[in-house]
């Protein structure tokens, strides 16, 4: 029965994120990438919230809509066919289970390698009749979004008055960059909503471990971010813009000046949500440490570690854990 279903979801920590009537937040910083003051507004948004919305981003709408429709096609395949593209570790199709440590959500997804020449993603061939079409859709999208992410990182460096304009962006441009691409599908979930008056957790609260994340979703709501006071606010969806969040690694590289934002996704009662996220990460061997020019006599808040060490620790954690505490200096 629905009641049993609901209690089983509750036990699995997928359900009930409080009232679903949380008002939309009108305070998401809006950055026009073509505006002359963009760099200062970006720095301010990263310090205050770790989250902002970008317009005039230069990513062709056609790349976005092609990838969205190819992804939708994939997610509408029978489960048995999709599962041929699994499991999602390190890359492939995943359903409800997130990570390896017991986290679950009302979501199915694809985790993809961003190395465009890579041979390790043969699962892409089951995407459709014409795998080449999907292949090039993914490639076009990722390279356009990576370029935009790098432009944003360069504006950040300028806004922070760092001499080396590519101090952050070079890590994403590196051939060895350990970046990930993810497409999430959150099916609608009317029954439980009707029963409990609450929304299901689509993707539980967490911060992203990488440097920067670039998210685009269809027009279905669901994304929430956590404010400094601990309150959750709903981000109004906007399918023609991108949402950017600061990752843990960028928080460390700015010695805590930028905040990695805690966020989550609630499922929608009626509509499915599709989101695509590019997670820009450094090479595995890269030392993650505050940039010297940002320290101005202050000490590092963090112990020294490589991205490999941080990633290993992150992948052994639960989604909601605070992953940076293990690397803080006491
Ligand atoms: C969160 C950001 C990215 O989606 C991700 C996620 C990863 C996964 O889905 O496998 C993790 C999660 C994310 C952080 C903690 C660990 C690892 C699930 C999880 C419980 C791909 C990433 O890099 O870290």
Largest CA distance in the chain: 62
Is the confidence at residue 292, as pLDDT, over 90? yes
Cα separation, 173 vs 153, whole angstroms: 11
| Coil, helix or strand at residue 168 | coil
Distances from the Cα of 173 to the Cα of 7, 115, 211, 253, 307, angstroms: 46, 11, 13, 17, 16
CA neighbours closer than 13 Å in the CB half-sphere of residue 93: 23
Distance 108 CA to ligand 1 centre (A): 14
Please write the tens of the pLDDT for every residue from 200-209: 899 999 999 9
| Coil, helix or strand at residue 134 | helix
**Ligand 1 atom nearest to 321, measured from its CA:** 15
Please write the tens of the pLDDT for every residue from 147-201: 999 999 999 999 999 999 999 999 999 999 999 999 999 999 877 655 665 678 9
Please write the tens of the pLDDT for every residue from 104-128: 999 999 998 898 655 545 545 445 4
* Per-residue model confidence (pLDDT) at position 197: 59
100 is catalytic: no
Distance 98 CA to ligand 1 centre (A): 7
Distance 315 CA to ligand 1 centre (A): 7
Mean pLDDT of all residues in 210-223? 97
The residue written with tokens 């570690």 in the block is: 305
DSSP string, 135-161: HHHHHHHHHHHHHHHHHHHHHHHHHTT
Q: Does the ipTM exceed 0.90?
A: yes
Which one-letter DSSP state was computed for residue 100? T
* Per-residue model confidence (pLDDT) at position 1: 46
Residue 199: which region, alpha, beta or left (left: phi > 0; alpha: psi -120 to 50)?
beta
Q: Which two tokens stand for residue 185?
A: 């599908």
Cα separation, 112 vs 90, whole angstroms: 8
Q: Which two tokens stand for residue 48?
A: 């205050």
**Ligand 1 atom nearest to 100, measured from its CA:** 20
Cα separation, 198 vs 307, whole angstroms: 38
The protein residue whose alpha carbon is closest to atom 11 in ligand 1 is: 99
Which residue(s) pair with 224 in the sheet?
A: 234, 264
Who wins on pLDDT, 269 or 246? 246
The protein residue whose alpha carbon is closest to atom 23 in ligand 1 is: 209
**Ligand 1 atom nearest to 311, measured from its CA:** 23
* Per-residue model confidence (pLDDT) at position 174: 97
Is the confidence at residue 24, as pLDDT, over 90? no
Set 146, 264, 273, 323: catalytic member = 273
Ligand 1 pocket: which of 87, 90, 98, 178 to mutate (most atoms within 8 A of CB): 98
Q: Is the CB of 314 under 6 A from ligand 1?
A: yes
Cα separation, 282 vs 259, whole angstroms: 18
């Amino acid at each position: 029965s629905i009641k049993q279903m609901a209690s089983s979801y509750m036990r699995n920590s997928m359900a009930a994120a409080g009232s679903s009537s949380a008002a939309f937040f009108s305070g998401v910083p809006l950055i026009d990438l073509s505006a002359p003051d963009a760099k200062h507004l970006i720095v301010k948004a990263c310090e205050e919230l770790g989250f902002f919305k970008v317009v005039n981003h230069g990513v062709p709408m056609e790349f976005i809509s092609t990838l969205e429709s190819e992804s939708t096609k994939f997610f509408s395949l029978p489960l048995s066919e999709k599962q041929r593209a699994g499991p999602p570790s390190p890359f492939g199709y995943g359903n409800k289970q997130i990570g390896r440590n017991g986290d679950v959500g009302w979501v199915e997804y694809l985790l993809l390698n961003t190395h465009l020449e890579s041979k390790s993603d043969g699962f892409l061939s089951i995407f459709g009749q014409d795998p080449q079409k999907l292949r090039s859709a993914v490639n076009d999208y990722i390279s356009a979004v990576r370029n935009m992410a790098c432009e944003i990182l360069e504006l950040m460096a300028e806004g922070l008055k760092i001499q080396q304009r590519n101090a952050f962006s070079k890590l994403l441009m590196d051939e060895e960059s350990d970046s990930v691409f993810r497409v999430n599908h959150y099916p609608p979930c009317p029954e439980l909503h009707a029963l409990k008056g609450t929304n299901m957790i689509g993707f539980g609260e967490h911060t992203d471990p990488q440097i920067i994340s670039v998210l685009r979703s269809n027009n279905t709501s669901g994304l929430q971010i956590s404010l400094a006071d601990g309150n959750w606010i709903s981000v109004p969806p906007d399918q023609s813009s991108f949402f950017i969040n600061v990752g843990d690694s960028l928080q460390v590289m700015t010695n805590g000046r930028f905040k990695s934002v805690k966020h989550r996704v609630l499922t929608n009662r009626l509509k499915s949500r599709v989101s695509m996220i590019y997670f820009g990460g450094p090479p595995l061997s890269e030392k993650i440490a505050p940039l010297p020019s940002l320290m101005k006599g202050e000490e590092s808040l963090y112990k020294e570690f490589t991205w490999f060490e941080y990633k290993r620790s992150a992948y052994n954690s639960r989604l909601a854990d605070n992953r940076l505490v293990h690397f803080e200096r006491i």
